[in-house]
Each structure stands twice: as C-alpha cells, then as structure tokens.
Amino acid sequence: MSQDDTKLGGSVSCEEDAKRLQDDLDRLDSKPFNPEEVRDIVAALQQPAVFLNMVSDWPALKWNAEYLSHVLHGKPLKFRIGERKMNKVPQFETHCGYVQATLQEFLVWLHGESDVCPGPFASFPRSRYWAYADYKYIAMMFEEKVELFQDVTWSDFGFCGRDGRDSTLWIGSEAANTPCHFDTYGCNLVLQVQGRKRWHLFRPEDTSFLYPTRIPYEESSVFSSVNVVNPDLERFPRFRGARPHVVTLRPGEVLVVPKHWWHYVESLDPVTVSINSWIELGDDDEARVGEALTRTVVCALKSADPHAVTASWLNTTEVAVTSHQTNLHYVNLAVQACLDKPNICPPNSAKWGNQSARASSACPKKRKCDSGEGAGQSVAADAARSLAEPKATLTTSIPFGPNLVPVGQAAGAAVQERVSGIPGDHNISLNNSPEAHRCSGRVDCNSKPTGVHKMVMSTDELLNCLVHPDVIRLMTQILLDRQYSP
C-alpha cells in the first residue's frame, strides 16, 4: 500500500468516526432527556416513575421470544413453574416446580393446539400452570454473542459503559409472577420489550403492613408474607393499611423502582419479555453489613433446627448453606468496606459516600449469580459511581409530564391515617429514623393476636423478629458505631 493510500484510508476512517459521532449526538438530541438529566432524575425520584420515548432506537426492542429463540439456537433455560389458581399464600420460589427447556419448546407449549404437549412441559397443562425464565444474566446467556450486549444502551440513562453485560432477562407466560419483595441494594431500571406486566408497588413506610420475612432466605431480598393480590386479612389485618401504587408497563417503557420499594410483578399477556438492571447506590455498603448479619443469624438458627429441611427455607437462587465461619468472614468484609470508604460519614448520615470494595464476592443482586457470578460487575460498579458519589440536590422539581409519568397510588388505597383503627396494631419504633418501619410488639411479627393461650414458638417465627428489617438496621448501626468510635 502506498503512502497516499494510507493517507486516504486514514481520512476515510476519520470521516466515518465523525459521522458516527454526529449520528450519536442526533440520536440523543431526539430524546426528551439527555443522559445527565435522566441520571439526576433517577437519583432524585422518591416514588416509582415510567420513562417514555427514551428507547425507541434500542435494538433490544426486537428481543421478543421468537427472536431470542432463534438467537439462542436451542440453548436450554431453567423455567420456574407455578399454578394459576389464586391462593391466599404467596407462591414463593421454594413452592414452585422447575424444568429445563429451550425457548422453542416454551413457545410450542404456549401456542400448541392442545392443553398438553410433549416435551419438558408435558406435566404442566397450560390452562393450570405458568412458566417463567426469570433472572437470566444476559452476560451468561449470550457469552458467545457478545455483540448483542450493545443492543441494551443504559448509557442513555446516564450510566456510561452499562449495557447488556449488566442486565438480566425475564421471559414468561401469562400469570407468571414474582413474589412481593423489596431489594436491599440499589434501585431498579426495567425495560418492557414484549407484552404487558402489572407492577404492584408499596412504599418503604408500608413495611410493617406487608409482614416482612426472610424465609425463604436469599441475599438481598426481603419477602412479604402476604399475597398482596389476594390477601388473607384475617391472618394479616395490618395489610389494610398498605397503600399500593399500580402501573401496567408496556413495550418501550422503562420503569424506575426506587430503593426499598416493595414490588409484586405479574405478566398479563401470553408472552412477556423484559430487561432490567440494578443500579448500585452509595449506601449499599451499609446494606451489605445488614445482609451479612442476616445471613449469619438465619443460617445459624436454621442449621441448628433438626426439623428444618433446607429446600423449604433456602431459596433456589442460593447455591448452598454457608458455614458460620464463612458468614462471619462476610460480616468482617462488609464492616471493613464501610471503614475503608473515603469521606467516612456516621452511619445515619444522608450524605452518599463513594463506592468501595465489595463486602463479598456477591453481585449487587446475589440471587442472580450462578456459575457466572460477578459477570460484568466491574463495569457496573464504575457506572454506578455517578449515583454513589455526593451530588447537589436538584434545584428544580422532577419534570413529570408526557415523557416521565409518576406511578400513582391505586384507587381506593388506604389513606395517610392508615395506622389508627387497624385491629391488633401495637407499633414499636426501633429507631428515630424518618424511614423507620414499624414492627408489632407481639412476639410473632407475622401472625394475628393469639390471646393469652399458650403458643409454641417456631424457628421461622423467631427469625421473622430477629431479622426484621428494623432490627437488622439497628444492629448495623450499633455495629458500625462501635467501629467508628475512637
């Protein structure tokens, strides 16, 4: 190649780069918010909200079940199977069945002429059961097709470098659902790709009305003992005080779930596909201390219970019961991570600190990590610093309007004075934080009053008090206060 050819090739390359840059700028200009604006909005939101017209150019919008079936080309996935009938007891993951199947087999099951079809789903008539390929790390699913990571562009939401590697995929049939829970780490961005999903959300302040439990146990998720769409009000009378916020998420819409908001999610259409990413926050380091404490207490008591069956209390997303020595190691790592944070603040400070070393090898949402634990998380941690680092409060109100819609309180939901008049509600505040949740003064935090007759305390009932979010928060504060003291 001559020198002139080299120069010509270099010129063409520069022109292509310039054109690509201009195309990117034009694409961003066509969106209602630029990345910096979206990042600030996400950081400031105190209630769930839906972004519209932000992802119309994302290649991921073509990721319907048929397309994914073609791309995965016979790769088997683990599907969770649940019953369509509506009981008053939540269908926790420990109560579900599981099958290994390809997306093609899943689609044949859904669209077959008869209610029963041969193959992995043969034992599950479509009229009686739903199926859900949930919590699938895109980094693991498409490890041989890494170019697809770029189809998901969270950089449009202000998180540079965050793409499909830092996201999970959810593929379900009608009635597939996720039990009501809140995530102890970060906030959540959810893109709906195919079909519709209905989200039932509850404020962190409603925690006492949702009867929190850590059984089944998994790191980072606090479940509700209540079936929030068919509640047993005789057993859980305080649920009358909960204030649900409900939204139906449609294709092309992105939902923001702020930290510690409870959510129950159900699929409304024959096939649904969604993509989400958990965004780390600066105070996740303190949350990891609480999670390490929770794991230590739960594993210690359940391991000591001769009647406990592991499969009934350890969620299927957890690999195994960890030893007491390992759990104490996690506690020490979590505490040390807080001590190592630059610009250390007291535990109750509202100031966000910089991200530091992780408390363990866990991902922000450990439940999503299998053999590929931690895939893409270094990029995610870098991107998350934009939320984790201290920043000035927005000087203007959040720009709700046609492109950003708040998720409002459902019609008929309980009003602000929801505590008074609720039977059997004896509230005891465990700390003076404005965000403090209330736990009943009764011994069993998840049952109605039992009167004066003798009761037999179970391990689970004891755990529901010992690892109640309020108790864990208080334990974390005490532990960190002791370490911060000179």
Instruction: Quick: pLDDT tens for 45-95.
Output: 999 999 999 999 999 999 999 999 999 999 999 999 999 998 999 999 999
Task: Of 181-195, 307-321, 333-347, give the lowest mean pLDDT range.
Answer: 333-347
Strands 212-213 and 254-257 come out as: unpaired
Cβ atoms of 480 and 441 closer than 8 Å: no
Contacts of 16 (CB under 8 A, 6+ apart): none
Q: Is 222 helix (H, G, I), strand (E, B) or coil?
A: strand
Using the predicted structure, report yes or no on whether residue 201 has a pLDDT greater than 70: yes
Cβ atoms of 402 and 396 closer than 8 Å: no
Q: Label residue 175 left, alpha or beta by phi (over 0 means left) and psi (-120 to 50 means alpha).
A: left
Rounded percentage of the chain residues whose pLDDT exceeds 90: 69
**153 within a domain of the structure (yes/no):** yes
For residue 133, what are the β-bridge partners? 171
More confident residue, 333 or 378: 333
pLDDT tens digits for range 138-184: 999 999 999 999 999 999 999 999 999 999 999 999 999 999 999 99
Domain that holds residue 91: 33-203+243-279
Per the prediction, the chain carries an average pLDDT of 83
Query: Which is it for the CA torsion 228, 168, 24, 194, positive or negative?
Result: negative
If pLDDT is split at 50, 70 and 90, which confidence band does 296 have? very high
**275 within a domain of the structure (yes/no):** yes
**431 within a domain of the structure (yes/no):** no
Using the predicted structure, report yes or no on whether residue 379 has a pLDDT greater than 50: no
pLDDT tens digits for range 419-477: 333 333 333 333 334 343 444 433 344 555 555 556 678 999 999 999 999 999 999 99
Cα–Cα dist 362/296, whole Å: 15
The pTM assigned to this predicted structure is 0.81
Closest CA to 183 of 135, 121, 124: 135
Using the predicted structure, report yes or no on whether residue 305 has a pLDDT greater than 60: yes
Angle, vertex CA 98, rays to CA 95 and CA 104, nearest 5: 140
**175 within a domain of the structure (yes/no):** yes
**Residue 24 pLDDT:** 61
**155 within a domain of the structure (yes/no):** yes
Closest CA to 143 of 375, 379, 381: 375
**306 within a domain of the structure (yes/no):** no
Buried b (16+ CB within 10 A) or exposed e, 308-335: beeeebbbbbbeebbeeeebeebbebbb
**452 within a domain of the structure (yes/no):** no
CATH code of the domain containing 260 = 2.60.120.650
pLDDT tens digits for range 234-257: 999 999 999 999 999 999 999 999
Q: Is 94 helix (H, G, I), strand (E, B) or coil?
A: helix
In total, how many domains does the chain have? 1
**Residue 193 pLDDT:** 98
**Directed axis angle between helix 284-304 and helix 324-339, to 10°?**
170
**Residue 117 pLDDT:** 85
Cβ atoms of 258 and 135 closer than 8 Å: no
**Residue 92 pLDDT:** 96
**465 within a domain of the structure (yes/no):** no
**Residue 486 pLDDT:** 63
**Directed axis angle between helix 35-44 and helix 377-388, to 10°?**
70
If pLDDT is split at 50, 70 and 90, which confidence band does 22 have? low
